[in-house]
Amino acid sequence: MYVLVDIGNTRVKLGLVDTNSRTRLPLTLACPHTDLSPIGTWLSQHLTQPVTGAIGVNVASEALAAQVQAVLHAHGIPAIHWQTGDTPYQHLHNRYQHPERLGADRWVSAIGLQTHAPTTAFLHVSFGTATTVDAIVPYDDAHEFKGGLILPGPQLMQHALSQNTARLGAEDGALQDFPNHTAAAIHSGIAAAQAGAVVRQWLITHQATGHAPQVFCSGGGKPLVEDELHQSFARMRQLTALALPDPRWFDTPTLDGLAILTNHLA
């Protein structure tokens, strides 16, 4: 078996790949940085084959990566092969100005999602602690990672308003076209800002390629943005002749990309 490790800004996710078939098993663990104890239990339950290797990405601290590695080592798992934003992959070309500075999770997620759009352009929108909106477009017989936006994620926006203003609380609100109370105004404003960033990049990518890109979404901010994103795309279809697609949601594109990259391991 191969162990997949995705250390994000707030959570650690694990997955497994069958050694023989090199296919990812439908098993995922997610735990917060503050409590890694579920990892040992999960590994004990699901490691049904000898572990050949481990592969991962880390966008958090080196100290946390060392803690995760220590837990894995206690279960006989070898050192994690950490992937970076400039990890070579023959089917995807990195056009970042400094490829090594691209977040490893963004790069590996693009690899994981590429199989869902083998010949077309797509956006990957990750609504996490930060929201990223990346454009991946066809290039010869492969794709190229063009780059994208980074902005505060939905929860971070909400936290910033509640912590840095005197009269704006953190109470839950509803999505409204014309919000008439503060909670709805905050909820709708955050959702609109997130969706607006996606629409902007969709239009730019469409203009650059001449084709309507697909939209793939992931991340824990889904409950705050899903309805607004759907409505924004629906309005654009009604008001223009543009063929905006329905966004598709994926739970673990980074783990999917890591599973593909296990083929590069000995």
pLDDT of residue 167: 67
pLDDT of residue 259: 96
Predicted pLDDT of residue 110:
98
For strand 248-249 and strand 214-218, is the pairing parallel, antiparallel, or unpaired?
A: parallel
Q: What are the angstrom distances between the C-alpha of 175 and each of 14, 183, 218, 238, 255?
A: 33, 9, 20, 20, 32
What local confidence, expressed as pLDDT, does residue 193 receive? Answer: 97
216 has which bridge partners?
124, 248
Angle among Cα 89, 96, 133 to the nearest 5 degrees reads: 95
- Say whether 246 is catalytic: no
Report the share of the chain in percent with pLDDT over 70.
97
How far is 3 from 51, CA to CA, in rounded Å?
Answer: 7
Place of tokens 């040992």: 40
85 near 103, Cβ under 8 Å?
yes
Q: Is the pLDDT of residue 8 over 70?
A: yes
Structural domains in the chain plus CATH codes = 2-82 (3.30.420.40), 117-249 (3.30.420.40)
Q: How far from 183 is each of 68, 91, 152, CA to CA, in Å?
A: 38, 45, 19
- Residue 71, both tokens: 């837990």
What are the tokens at 181? 């109370």
- C-alpha 69/C-alpha 65 separation (Å) is 6
C-alpha distances (whole Å) from 227 to each of 170, 230, 234, 260 are 20, 5, 11, 31
CA–CA distances in Å: residue 121 to residues 23, 201, 246, 258: 25, 12, 14, 21
- Residue among 44, 39, 55 nearest 5 (CA): 55
Give the active site residue among 6, 105, 134, 256: 105
- How many Cα atoms within 13 Å fall on the side-chain side of residue 34? 1
For residue range 205-261, list pLDDT tens digits in order. 999 999 999 999 999 999 999 999 999 999 999 999 898 999 999 999 999 999 999
d(C-alpha 5, C-alpha 58), whole Å? 8
In this predicted model, what pLDDT tens digit does every residue of 145-197 receive, in sequence order?
999 999 999 999 988 887 877 666 666 778 899 999 888 888 999 999 999 99
**Assessment of whether the complete model's pTM goes beyond 0.85:** yes
Residue owning tokens 């078939």: 21
Q: What is the pLDDT of residues 73-111, one digit of tens each?
A: 999 999 999 999 999 999 999 999 999 999 999 999 999
